[in-house]
Amino acid sequence: MKLNPYLAIIIAATIGGSSGVFIKLLELPAGTITFFRMAVPVLVLLGYLRYKGIKLFRGNYRIMMVASVLNASRMFLFFVGYLYTSIGNAVIILFTWPIFGALFSAIFLKEKIPLRTAFLIGLAFLGIVIMYINKEISFGNQDFIGMAAMLFSAIMFSATAVIFKKELVNYSRTETIFYQNLVGSIAFLPFLFAGFPVPSALQAGVASLYGFLIGIVAFLLFFYALRKLKMSHYALFTYWEVIAALFFGVLFFQEAITLNMVIGGGLILATGILLRKQKTSN
């Protein structure tokens, strides 16, 4: 029986929204979690690519490796973000990436920014400002560190998305996922042994499960839905991840949803949805 594409994307977005729960409950350093998140997809996909006889490091692989370095950095910041601030704050700031994606597309892909898009980007930045209101701007403030880390993670994610979008015509989605995670799986290997605390067998098992669910299952479901749905529908349903993450934050950690989150987050998410709908209608 074929899976309904709408159900596929909801399952994938729910898995993505569960990231904060895994990260906080694992109680491991950001570098150690980053290793598991990136190494598991690489090992699984390496075996698959070898089985299929697909040659590695072909084509314009150097630019793919640059994107992989950026992706490794953004994943580390992603985990720092979730470790230092609430799940709600982290996931809303994460979804600023379509705004930065629009900016980078204009700079690197020479896509024009219409006046309406510029207005929406301005609204999104207003949302970011509102999210930061009442936050002490200090490296001693965990909320500030977490939100800043997630903001830089979103910026890097949008940059890698632009690179991968440009190169996707030359590589399969499986190869793209492999490249996304390759550098990080190597660079963060020392954290497995040097990090403190050293992960227990249970922590290693749960972290591996997390890496498999997010790095393989969620991506495959997202790609399956992308093939079946209109882009406007696909883009809209990906925002289920925010709802799922907020729900998990309240359910597992009794996180409060503040007025700043509602107003600022509403502006950010509405902007992201409108930007994606605008792109698909052009």
Say which residue, 234 or 62, is predicted with more confidence.
Answer: 62
Q: What is the pLDDT of residue 248?
A: 94
Q: What is the pLDDT of residue 77?
A: 96
What count of Cα atoms within 13 Å lies in the side-chain half-sphere of residue 46?
Answer: 11
* Residue of 264, 252, 267 lying closest to 86 (CA atoms): 252
- Distance CA(145)–CA(167), nearest Å, equals 33
In the numeric block, which tokens belong to residue 56? 């590695």
Work out the number of other CB atoms within 10 angstroms of the CB of residue 2. 7
Question: What average pLDDT score do residues 91-114 get?
Answer: 77
Asked if residues 180 and 54 have their Cβ atoms less than 8 Å apart, the reply is no
The amino acid at residue 195 is: G
Q: What is the pLDDT of residues 24-35, one digit of tens each?
A: 999 999 999 999
Q: What pLDDT band is residue 9 in, cutting at 50, 70 and 90?
A: confident
The pLDDT > 70 percentage for the chain reads 89
H runs (alpha helix) in the chain: 5-17, 19-26, 30-52, 61-84, 87-94, 97-108, 115-132, 142-167, 173-187, 189-194, 201-212, 219-228, 231-238, 240-253, 259-281
In the numeric block, which tokens belong to residue 200? 């227990």
Where exactly are the structural domains of the chain? Answer: 5-281
Range name among 59-68, 112-121, 146-155 with the lowest pLDDT average: 112-121
Say which residue, 236 or 225, is predicted with more confidence.
Answer: 225
Q: What pLDDT band is residue 40 in, cutting at 50, 70 and 90?
A: very high
Q: What pLDDT band is residue 139 in, cutting at 50, 70 and 90?
A: low
Asked if residues 23 and 82 have their Cβ atoms less than 8 Å apart, the reply is yes
Q: What is the pLDDT of residue 73?
A: 95
Distances (CA, A) of 215 to 173, 206, 245, 263, 279: 12, 14, 17, 31, 26
Q: What is the pLDDT of residues 186-220, one digit of tens each?
A: 999 998 877 677 899 999 999 999 999 999 999 88
Q: What is the pLDDT of residue 231?
A: 57
Q: What pLDDT band is residue 111 in, cutting at 50, 70 and 90?
A: low
Q: What is the pLDDT of residues 259-275, one digit of tens each?
A: 888 898 888 888 877 76
Q: What is the pLDDT of residue 219?
A: 85
Those residues with Cβ within 8 angstroms of residue 162's Cβ, 6 or more apart along the chain or in another chain: 101, 104, 105, 108, 109
Tokens 């499986």, residue? 174
Q: What is the pLDDT of residues 42-66, one digit of tens each?
A: 999 999 999 999 888 888 888 889 9
pTM for this model (two decimals): 0.84
The pLDDT > 90 percentage for the chain reads 39
Q: What is the pLDDT of residue 233?
A: 66
DSSP 229: S
* Residue of 272, 219, 251 lying closest to 16 (CA atoms): 219
